[in-house]
Amino acid sequence: MRLENSIKMAGRRIIWSSPLLTVHTANGFNWLRAICRNQRNLFYTGQSSKSQDPVEHCKQFSISHIDHVVLTVENIESTVKFYTKVLGMEEIIFGKGRKALSFGNQKFNLHQRGKEFEPKAANPTPGSVDICLVTDTPISSVIAHLKSLKVEVEEGPIQRTGAQGPIMSVYFRDPDRNLIEVSNYNIDR
């Protein structure tokens, strides 16, 4: 079925057809029409739409959140002990005895170095992660907790920028030397 439509854009009559994606305009420019997420969108493509792939212009899907991250570690038991004691995560066992660390709606799946589950990262390496974890606890309280457990603070408190704005952070390392940043969005605390 061929659907033809026309609209006025910037005072010019633009005609497009679908599903053929052939486009004509009153002023000689070419426009490419693509339907993304059930909405009509027009994309200016310059002089020729023949060489343009409509899929390149369409956002096919979007990511809503992270479900889990895999940490490759030297020793699963020492990792579990650190993350449960220092960061308050919960140890969970799933599958055929696999271990993970649960927090919020996410988890860290744990792989023992040399005994990784397939598929795996191209170069699974202990100590290669640099991650920021968010807490509602004031950073001063986080630092006091770290010091009480003799966890060396590498840097902080220090203001940084998180995914949603300014954060107050503290940095330290886990047993595999991964860099752990714990942050709070309430920077006045």
Judge residue 55's burial from the number of C-beta atoms within 10 Å of its C-beta, 0-12 exposed, 13-18 middle, 19 or more buried. exposed
CB-based contacts of 136: which residues, under 8 Å, 6+ apart?
Answer: 184, 186
Taking alpha carbons only, the member of 36, 37, 34, 32 closest to residue 15 is 32
Catalytic residue ranges: 181
Residues 70, 121: Cα–Cα separation, whole Å? 9
**Helix, strand or coil for residue 87?**
helix
CB crowding 93-131: b at 16 or more within 10 Å, else e: eeeeeebbbbeeeebbbbbbeeeeeeeeeeebebbebee
Q: Is the sign of the CA dihedral 129, 130, 134, 138 positive or negative? A: positive
How does DSSP classify residue 139? H
Tokens, residue 182: 């714990």
User: Residue 148, Cβ neighbours under 10 Å: how many?
Assistant: 8
